[in-house]
């Protein structure tokens, strides 16, 4: 009897807990006013990155790698990182904590892999000297420690090329909006809402943030270009500043700028194609040499055997 009563009480407690959790989930959360205003600040991204790098105000970690990165920021000396690709990480929107966590995890993997391989060979009867796995661990740990840097730089170069290509289309859209009589800010925001790629989304976010903070849109794009290392966006911001502050007609300038960007990208692609073509001539030449050697070899062997 007491057992049945205990089961009923436990079931009622669990049911009540479920109702409480459901109600707590459905109740709308109250946003933090300071955090909301911080997200609207034009320098929010740069201030957050600087504070995180200094370890003074780290953002809350959401993954295991970010927790490891936050611990590394607090516990390890800053000179250990040597060089942090801050602009590349800002362009890729990778938090510094996650980047440092990747470096620590990759270095630990580099330390562990050679001893595991040494143990595997030991089980096969192919024992290796202890110095070989130990040296390989240190070398592989250093290489894998800098692998996230290489990945960030390489991915950022691809992202910058994609940003430049999308920026040419965005400039043309802004020029068309200005021709239709839209204001400077209205033209820039309307053009940013046309596309759904990450480039247009990023531009729309920066323009919206500048509108709510009272900052001119060209200043917001100047700050974004300086943060991400995008000189083309900086030139576009200068053109829009000329239109916004002096009321100049910039349709011709915008179309000329987009045409110049496309021409520069086309020239880069042609140069890259020529380089690839030149590299392809080397295997072709080697095949020709090998083919000639196969043709000449029987005659040379016959001459050698006859003599």
Rounded distance between C-alpha atoms, residue 173 and residue 167, angstroms: 10
| Residue where the block lists tokens 């892999």 | 113
Rounded distance between C-alpha atoms, residue 186 and residue 140, angstroms: 53
Residues 6 or more apart whose Cβ sits within 8 Å of residue 136: 114
| Residue where the block lists tokens 């509108």 | 211
pLDDT of residue 51: 40
Rounded distance between C-alpha atoms, residue 253 and residue 134, angstroms: 61
Residues 6 or more apart whose Cβ sits within 8 Å of residue 299: none
| Residue where the block lists tokens 């239109």 | 243
Residue 31 CA, chain-centre distance (Å), reads 28
pLDDT of residue 50: 41
pTM over cut 0.85: no
Answer yes or no: are the C-beta atoms of 227 and 208 closer than 8 Å.
no
Distances (CA, A) of 204 to 183, 186, 211, 229, 290: 16, 11, 10, 18, 58
Nearest CA among 104, 118, 233, 225 for reference residue 167: 233
Rounded distance between C-alpha atoms, residue 30 and residue 175, angstroms: 41
Range list of H helices, 124-216: 131-145, 147-179, 184-192, 198-213
Query: Can you tell me whether residue 78 is helix, strand or coil?
Result: helix
> How confident is the prediction along the chain (307 residues), in pLDDT tens digits per residue?
445 555 665 666 666 666 666 666 666 655 555 555 555 554 444 444 444 443 444 445 566 778 888 888 888 787 778 888 888 888 888 888 888 888 888 888 888 887 887 777 777 777 667 777 778 888 888 888 889 899 999 998 888 888 888 888 888 888 888 888 778 888 888 888 887 888 888 888 888 888 888 888 888 888 888 888 888 888 888 888 877 766 667 777 788 888 888 888 888 778 878 877 777 777 777 777 787 777 777 777 777 777 6
Answer yes or no: are the C-beta atoms of 216 and 209 closer than 8 Å.
no
Structure tokens at 68: 């490891």
Structure tokens at 275: 């380089």
Rounded distance between C-alpha atoms, residue 166 and residue 232, angstroms: 11
Rounded distance between C-alpha atoms, residue 160 and residue 194, angstroms: 20
């Amino acid at each position: 009897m007491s057992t049945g009563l205990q089961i009923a009480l436990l079931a009622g407690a669990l049911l009540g807990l479920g109702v409480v959790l459901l109600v707590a989930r459905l109740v709308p959360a109250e946003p933090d006013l300071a955090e909301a205003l911080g997200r609207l600040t034009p320098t929010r991204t740069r201030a957050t990155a600087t504070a995180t790098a200094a370890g003074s105000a780290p953002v809350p970690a959401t993954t295991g790698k970010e927790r490891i990165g936050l611990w590394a920021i607090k516990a390890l000396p800053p000179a250990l990182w040597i060089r942090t690709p801050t602009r590349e990480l800002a362009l890729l929107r990778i938090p510094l904590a996650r980047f440092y966590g990747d470096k620590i995890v990759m270095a630990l993997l580099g330390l562990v892999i050679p001893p595991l391989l040494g143990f595997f060979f030991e089980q096969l009867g192919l024992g290796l000297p202890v110095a070989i796995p130990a040296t390989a661990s240190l070398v592989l740990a250093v290489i894998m420690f800098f692998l996230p840097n290489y990945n960030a730089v390489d991915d950022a170069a691809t992202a910058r090329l994609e940003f430049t290509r999308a920026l040419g289309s965005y400039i043309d859209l802004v020029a068309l909006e200005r021709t239709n009589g839209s204001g400077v800010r209205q033209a820039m925001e309307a053009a940013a809402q046309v596309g759904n790629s990450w480039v247009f989304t990023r531009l729309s976010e920066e323009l919206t943030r500048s509108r709510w903070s009272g900052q001119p849109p060209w200043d917001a794009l100047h700050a974004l270009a300086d943060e991400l290392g995008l000189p083309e966006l900086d030139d576009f911001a200068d053109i829009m500043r000329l239109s916004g502050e002096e009321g100049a007609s910039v349709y011709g300038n915008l179309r000329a700028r987009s045409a110049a960007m496309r021409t520069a990208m086309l020239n880069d692609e042609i140069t890259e194609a020529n380089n690839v073509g030149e590299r392809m001539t080397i295997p072709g030449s080697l095949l020709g040499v090998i083919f000639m050697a196969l043709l000449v070899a029987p005659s040379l062997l016959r001459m050698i055997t006859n003599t």
